[in-house]
Amino acid sequence: MMNTIPKTRIAVLVSGGGTNLQAILDAQKAGKITDGEVVLVISNNPDAYALERAKNAGVKGVVVPKKGRTREDFEKDLVAALEEHGIELIILAGFMCILSADFTNRYPERIINVHPSLIPSFCGEGFYGLRVHEAALAYGVKVTGATVHFVNEIPDGGKIILQRAVEIQENDTPEILQKRVMEQAEWHLLPEAAQLVSRSIRERKK
């Protein structure tokens, strides 16, 4: 029965290098994401290397610029691109824009994000990129990790889908820790969550 139901159409939103996007594309190629398909990559940054990764994978890339525009106009164009491609699941993979409640309310439990800590630690407004790892090291925690969660109007406030712990080592710098969290947690969790949520959306179409 499931074979006759179209796969969940996924858009990945990016701002930079796109390593998390690559992890999703690789997992899809390896047959680990069977219920969803990445059909669109959107970047707010025209120079994002992630767009090159999309092109190499044969996935359509679109730029929706944010610089010098109101959030309202930016999100209007974002919604237009998502609707044009019939997107059912949105994955934020290093997307450096905070989305408004108006936007997130349009897609309840249809937007997922990966955060480089074990939420509720080191999360919320201002905690992104290296800042998260700097805070974890400054606090002296022995274990950190990554979390994939649904996105709502509160930064890092949506329901948790998956988490994975990563041990902190004695000589860690924020950069070394960031790389380990990506390799050991983020690049595994995000494709896994993409499959879980894609399956759940696909099953509801029965």
Q: Which residues are catalytic?
A: 115
How far apart CA 108 and CA 197 sit, in angstroms, is: 12
Nearest to 162 by CA among 133, 187, 125: 187
Compute the Cα dihedral for 97, 98, 104, 106 and give only its sign.
negative
How far are the Cα atoms of 136, 154, 173, 185 from residue 121, in angstroms, in the given order?
A: 8, 15, 18, 16
> What are the residue ranges of helices labelled H in the chain?
19-29, 49-56, 71-84, 101-106, 130-139, 174-181, 187-203
Both structure tokens of 94: 């290093």
Nearest to 113 by CA among 92, 88, 98, 94: 92
